[in-house]
Amino acid sequence: MGELKRVTVVGAGTMGSQIALQTALSGRYDVTLVDTVKGQLARARQKLVDRSVEKQRLSREKADRAMGLIDDEDNLAVAVAGADLVIEAVIESFDAKKAVFEDLGKPAKKDAILASNSSTIVISRLADFTGRPERCCNMHFFHPVTVMQLCEVVRGPKTSAVQKGLNWPMGPFHLLDFSGLDIFYGAMQDRHRLGEGPEPPELLAKLVREGRLGRKTGRGFFAYD
């Protein structure tokens, strides 16, 4: 593989759009953000810029300039055809991620790196669907991506890995609140069913039952205005 020049991010939700923005802000790569849901790309752009400016993470000028470097695409095959690195960032659902990795196999470049942003679904469960598991890895960005300067790169059985953490501006319970307690709860249930981990703790189950899912509902382990 030559120099990494083009990055494609699959999924224009909260994580995907932030990963695309952070990549564009580096000024080193051409970035494509792909989502097949009608209107999602436009919504993601507006929300991301407004949120970044509101939180004073970026100036309006810098945010607009970075978003101008991101190409939108609603066709996955077209979006990944020229990419050196593809980062899957769809919802934390095995079936959804499996569908993406199945679709990546043929159109992606033979030497492209195919990464999943999942923190709970190991790449060994997804890699074989591409037909090239040796090119696959987990690449987990922490939320919010533009604040948390932390990314895990984790190998599968047939890949090599690097892990590097930079910065930790919030504790683990704040991090769970930002990520969504329901997401973490579902992931723990899934891993328990597979015999890969314990059941979710009762405190976590109680918070989820009460609808206290973290930052997005206003309350989780902590309360938010």
Positions marked catalytic: 140
User: CA 24 to CA 144: how far, in whole Å?
Assistant: 16
Cβ count within 10 A of residue 91: 13
Angle of helix 60-67 relative to helix 14-25, nearest 10 degrees, comes to 100
* Token pair for 91: 């919802």
Q: Can you tell me which residue has the tokens 């979710």?
A: 200
Q: Position 225: which residue type? A: D
* Token pair for 124: 């060994």
**H-only helix segments in the chain:** 14-25, 40-54, 60-67, 76-80, 94-104, 172-179, 181-193, 202-209
